[in-house]
Amino acid sequence: MIIDKLTNSSYKLTHSSNLDILAKIFDIFNIKYTLHVSSLILYNINSLENFREWRDNLPHPCIDYENTLSIFYKLGSIFLYLEKISFQLSSLDENNMIVVNNDIVIPTNIDNIFSIEKNQISIETPLNNNKYLSLELRNKKILPILTSYKCVYSSLALFIIDIFLGIDKNPSKNSLIEKIKVIYSTRLYWLIRNLLLDDINECLIINI
């Protein structure tokens, strides 16, 4: 996706497909836009950065509890909306996210939105191996990959833990669960823990 700053408060996002779905995601956050054939123009934006730039500009590599909680809820609302219209992402991608107004993280890897059929998605193109690749998809090489649409939940867990506590290279589910014990009994602990249940079909995004 190509991002161009038009004015101090407007940006143009250019992409070849699925912009209608991306536009609906902006609707969730009441962000004004105009939709064109291959671009979205956003208005009344205070700031927009790609995720890497945003993180590099933070005063500390990790963010505080309240901001993390806010980002969780906003990302969670995106995934729940996609499920409502029978679509879902396979994973987040650190190279394909934007941060709007400093706390709305929006995935832009919209080529990786898949149709949900019988609670599964079918991935027919090679996976982009990145920091937040779903735990369920790691080491899967043979295409197509048929997996639960909830595979993105572990990707969300990886992302949230990373921006709050940091993560090690190639973490396992058990190591992530161990990592979040430092915030045991907090709301964020249980929000993350419900993304990392043993049975993927029992995993939940709680957004209240």
Distance CA 26, CA 28 (A): 5
Residues 6+ apart with CB under 8 A from 126: 143
Q: How many CB atoms lie within 10 A of CB 166?
A: 10
User: pTM to 2 decimals?
Assistant: 0.95
* In the chain, % of residues over pLDDT 70: 100
The answer, yes or no, to whether residue 147 has pLDDT greater than 90, is: yes
The answer, yes or no, to whether residue 1 has pLDDT greater than 90, is: no
End-to-end Cα spacing for the chain: 31
Distance CA 52, CA 55 (A): 5
- Most confidently modeled of 16-20, 110-114, 146-150? 146-150
